[in-house]
Structure 1
Amino acid sequence: MRPHPVTGRLFPSPVPPGTGWPEDPADAGTPVATTVPAVVDLARAAGDVGELDARVSVCRACPRLVAWRESVATTGRRASFADQPYWGRPGPGVGDPAPRVLVVGLAPAANGTNRTGRMFTGDRSGDWIYAALYRAGYASQPDSWAAGDGLKLTGARIVAAVRCAPPANRPTPEERHTCGHWLDRDLELAAPGLRSMLALGAIGWDAALASARRLGWTVPRPKPRFGHGAQAELVTADGHPIRLLGSYHVSQQNTFTGRLTEAMLDAVIARL
């Protein structure tokens, strides 16, 4: 059995070859945010992406999300994954630490990122976004199924508006606001070389705009409306332009119904 690094709960081991969690970004000295002010302070003080991801990965500031993600990881596992260890923590960002493109998703899936520890990994949404990033030249392979599968992203980094799996995939406004402070720092750290952002879904779009405003970036008014292929031009505080593009989320609800097709997703990513 392997102890959870924060809760101490035990998870099955050994992990099958080529699967399991990513290398843990946190250690015993990583500070843990348990309140909103602590999230603000710890996010602002993160000196680089590695330190930010470590602090994100142990955050406990939203009691409802903490309870849900850990209950899924211990007693609520999907039957098909019952013999696998679950990450059960917030999902840190993944990809290039100095990206030209930042992808902003909604939140981890309960049996996806919450299980594997890597954004958009282990569920059908990840099958779509990583395949598209591979076709565009950002990903080293077209799929992402476990942390040990060898995937590398070049020029792109993936984060989320909310870093914990929420019940029914619906974070509350308060949870979105709290987690937005982690996103603020992601944008700040990426800004010097950032060319564009891809917001997956309306929540990712709104989160990106809200973070840009909090950072003092110029954001068009009235607020740009989300839509597939929507575009907004943002300008950082030092005058650096960044393009924000919108895409329907790569959820099964959209991909199974044909609301989002591979061609539609590819067309938006090509504009990045």
Structure 2
Amino acid sequence: MAFRHELQAKYPDWGNAPVRSFGNLDAGLLIVGLAPGMKGANRTGRPFTGDYAGDLLYSTLLKFGFAQGTYRADPNDGLHLVGCRIANAVRCLPPENKPLPIEFTACRPFLQAELAMMPNLKVILALGKGAHDQILRALTVRPAGSYPFIHSRLHALPTGLHLADSYHCSRYNTNTGRLTTEMFHDVFEKIRHVLK
């Protein structure tokens, strides 16, 4: 909280507030990231908007028909999602981009409410292990160890939902080659197949 107030004073024209989810509740796909990025969603108020991760994510959503319009890293760019919604496990920017257990616990009810309000949900895409773990906790899936985080793995959960895993589309992962555009697209190919 103190960190957010510090940023509000330093950057008064930024959002610096809890970031709401983006997309319709009737979507079949929910994408869950870890937390808002400082110069991305924390600044713009829209998930994955204004940072490198958003460039890769939104271009991929456009390619696979989960978005329409033009992504310009601006929440007023007119881009809208199709059959897809985007949320974060933690709704506020954490210091050093590393959420603490207390932040996950405090924000879990928001993720649980999100899941409960999506009647057509079939697939949840976890961007990174942190999001993967929080999704399993939000769904109270046990034993969680039966569903390990593995890039491009698609888990059939006992809830009837599918959990898809991807390395986070951060600049760090793409610059180091841990995640390539082709690897990211492969995950969406699998998701598309489940949603048919």
Q: How does the TM-score come out when normalised to structure 2?
A: 0.92
- Superposed displacement of residue 245, structure 1: 0.6
1:200 maps to 127
1:53-111 CA-to-partner distances (Å, cap 9, x unmatched) read: xxxxxxxxxxxxx2212322331x4xxxxxx8201101000012211000000000111
CA distance in 2, matches of 1:223, 1:163: 27
How well do the aligned residues superpose, as a CA RMSD in angstroms?
1.6
Match of 1:254 among 140, 161, 173: 173
Match of 1:182 among 102, 110, 118: 110
- Superposed displacement of residue 269, structure 1: 1.1
* C-alpha contact 1:131 1:141 (8 A) present in aligned 2: no
- Superposed displacement of residue 169, structure 1: 0.6
Greater RCO, CA 8 A, separation 6+: 2
CA distance in 2, matches of 1:199, 1:160: 10
CA distance in 1, matches of 2:129, 2:121: 21
Once the two structures are superposed, the pairs formed by residues 45-194 of structure 1 within 5 Å of their partners are: 66-75=1-10, 77=11, 85-141=13-69, 143-190=71-118, 192-194=119-121
Aligned length: 191
Give the letter for the 2:91 counterpart. R
* C-alpha contact 1:103 1:198 (8 A) present in aligned 2: yes
Q: How does the TM-score come out when normalised to structure 1?
A: 0.67
Match of 1:233 among 156, 160, 167: 156
1:7-50 CA-to-partner distances (Å, cap 9, x unmatched) read: xxxxxxxxxxxxxxxxxxxxxxxxxxxxxxxxxxxxxxxxxxxx
* C-alpha contact 1:90 1:163 (8 A) present in aligned 2: yes
Q: What percentage of aligned pairs have identical amino acids?
A: 38
1:169-198 CA-to-partner distances (Å, cap 9, x unmatched) read: 1010111111111101111111x2111010
Runs of 4+ in 1 over 4 A off after TM superposition: 218-221
Larger Rg: 1
**Structure 1 alignment gaps of length 5 or more:** 1-65, 78-83
**Structure 2 alignment gaps of length 5 or more:** 192-196
SS at match of 2:54: helix
Match of 1:264 among 180, 183, 191: 183
